[in-house]
Structure 1
């Protein structure tokens, strides 16, 4: 009963969180440039600094989380701090024109410190509350509802902003206030989660947990295999972030309305396909389906540069959304499956730490390729790196299948079910 209640609460929490963040997040560049007059340098810092700050937060974050008695309470405090800092952006326009853009840069960077802790504690808490055999269906259901919500909020916010001048402060301030209101709802449902009593650990066990934050985790082979594949794929995936936006704006001349269409069609295909990924992951294995999802993501850059027709790009975003749904669901599932339950927080923290480094380096590398070789070559190279990540997942999946065939117990169990 407690499990079902936690799953429902997590869905409600996810929906409220999606409204809180999606109401403004996607339009921060428009707010920065159109309202505050941010420079290219300041826009670059808005993109890059969050990864660095989040990375720095994860170093002490895992140690703090290993010591706390309640992961839920830790998640509540860090989530509330993140949303509060984000809401404070509504006061930025009252500053001088010279100070306002820098204040925005500072707040967005600063909020990623509690934001990283919030993500880490939530992941660790859910890993404890939802058993492995239920995670596929649970995450597919939760992701479906949050994606539906994101689609509705994205379209509604875009329509709302269209009613005002581009340099108007008022609509953004309304959205910041509304976002904070939903953040309070998000925190409310987070508080209502029911945790199991925390087992007391001996001092030497706690010390062992601290040590495992660094190099000890890399002695666990399933985790190492996942890390290599996931980081390679994520590097390729995030290489394309800046390139896609530049292509759509400068090459295809997409307007804000078209950007909304790209986002909505992408989210729509995620909603439709999310159950499919969970079902086939149960049937063929999480790692094998990660290969399929990653390979699908690898086709996106090559397909994108075929045409600058905006209707065509909308269809490509519909196609991409299918595989985004799969990677979002299966990567986190695989992280939980490949990490020992006893030190789950430490393993998740190490993954997020490394992912933060990728999040800072990969977009910059993508733009570097664009400047050096041009749009077409940059897109093809991005697709190639993504495909290398996909093939890495395939290699691990085939190794796992080979291991199962040589395991007498698993062969016997498979025979009984056949």
Structure 2
């Protein structure tokens, strides 16, 4: 299973991460490059809603995960073949990209349920921590390998077709990951019956309606997360076109800036945990929430590579604080038997916010003429939009009940790498334990410390 995690992460670093860069290199334009980074995520999230029905049809979590992961690998191979077909319309690239995200996001909930049966509870914290570290290395291996390949062929006749090799390698890594998953045992968990599935899906719909009509503290916190994502993606998808088309960064510089942001996020997690131990999760959320607001606007101050590298590192550090606090705040009150469905709903809302932000950014960029000044306007507008989230940011009182859970047992997996956001992370739910055992509802985290 560690081999599966490493291979999956290599695919993340070398495959879809470079898809927006490919559309730019192929002359498809900045708007296409921006939309390919978000729209397939939304359509994939919609496809993910079919997951409970599909799992029942497969009658096996293992079989479903293996088939969906293979479909994700195949989508990258299809993209590799499309590199050699420049006559294809731009919209056609969104089809395999949607398949990539639809199959990938669908795999997540089933994988979480399945792997909880495979790994004994007393081994989960150590096992998933080791797997997470190996996965982080895999993402960096993929990022650096992809950047070095692009650099080697930059300025040659193969500057565009080399992307086919990147996507093929990413697909091969995911096929290897699927093979490793196939070798695992089935587990003891039973697939939901039709009646149970209907009840759970109905409950999910009712909960979604309740969160909108009567949000409460937890609902307002989710609204805060959506507001942040909308503001972030006003600028997020446009950093790649800005670096390549306006600043004319080489592929090596582009890869380096991506990697620095990702490394910054990874190295921030240990001391973010210590901050949570010292002052509580709410204050950690304030540190991260405030820190991510001005980051995009700093790109308007200077375009020196070393200045941007420093900004990327700082960005990774504050994003690490934000995302660790988000995981703690968002999941600590969700019981074990509801986490998969809540995560599914969150994925849909999250991707919707990304697309909304991307469309707003496109409007601003078009209004400013699409040139250098237009990108700077987008970056500043993103910072302003993020500042609106402060209205919803949880205050000093606990927005959600406290916990004594060990931070070292909270593990996420990287599903994509993006400029300025560092990466997209999704929680490994089995590492969270059972909320009934872990949560002390009346005990604020700031009073009972979490052991890092």
Judge same fold: TM > 0.5, yes or no: yes
Give 1:134 deviation, angstroms: 9.4
In 2, Cα distance between equivalents of 1:403 and 1:337: 7
- CA deviation profile, 1:333-389 (whole Å, cap 9, x unmatched): 544324332232221111111112112111121232344475555433322332443
In 2, Cα distance between equivalents of 1:258 and 1:282: 37
Alignment of 1:115 with 2:110, yes or no, is no
Corresponding pairs, count:
403
- CA deviation profile, 1:112-169 (whole Å, cap 9, x unmatched): 3222312343355567878999988877665544333322332222222222255416
Alignment of 1:351 with 2:346, yes or no, is yes
1:15 touches 1:145 (CA, 8 Å); kept in 2? yes
Greater Cα offset, 387-396 or 237-246: 387-396
Greater Cα offset, 46-55 or 346-355: 46-55
SS of the equivalent of 2:189 reads coil
Q: 1:192-271 alignment to 2 at 5 Å?
A: 197-198=188-189, 205-217=196-208, 219=210, 221=216, 223-249=218-244, 252-271=247-266
In 2, Cα distance between equivalents of 1:38 and 1:365: 20
In 1, Cα distance between equivalents of 2:152 and 2:290: 40
Change (3 A) 1:292 1:101: same
In 1, Cα distance between equivalents of 2:302 and 2:92: 39
Alignment of 1:38 with 2:12, yes or no, is no
In 2, Cα distance between equivalents of 1:189 and 1:403: 35
In 2, Cα distance between equivalents of 1:387 and 1:128: 42
In 2, Cα distance between equivalents of 1:134 and 1:42: 45
Greater Cα offset, 351-360 or 38-47: 38-47
Which TM-score applies when normalising by structure 2? Answer: 0.74
Pairwise CA RMSD of aligned residues? 4.0
Change (3 A) 1:204 1:301: same
1:29 touches 1:43 (CA, 8 Å); kept in 2? yes
Counterpart position of 2:312: 317
**Residue ranges of structure 1 left out of the alignment (5+ in a row):** 1-8
Give 1:312 deviation, angstroms: 0.6
Counterpart position of 1:152: 141
In 2, Cα distance between equivalents of 1:279 and 1:135: 22
Counterpart position of 1:76: 66
74, 90, 93: which one pairs with 2:80?
90
2:402 touches 2:443 (CA, 8 Å); kept in 1? no
SS of the equivalent of 2:222 reads helix
Greater Cα offset, 254-263 or 132-141: 132-141
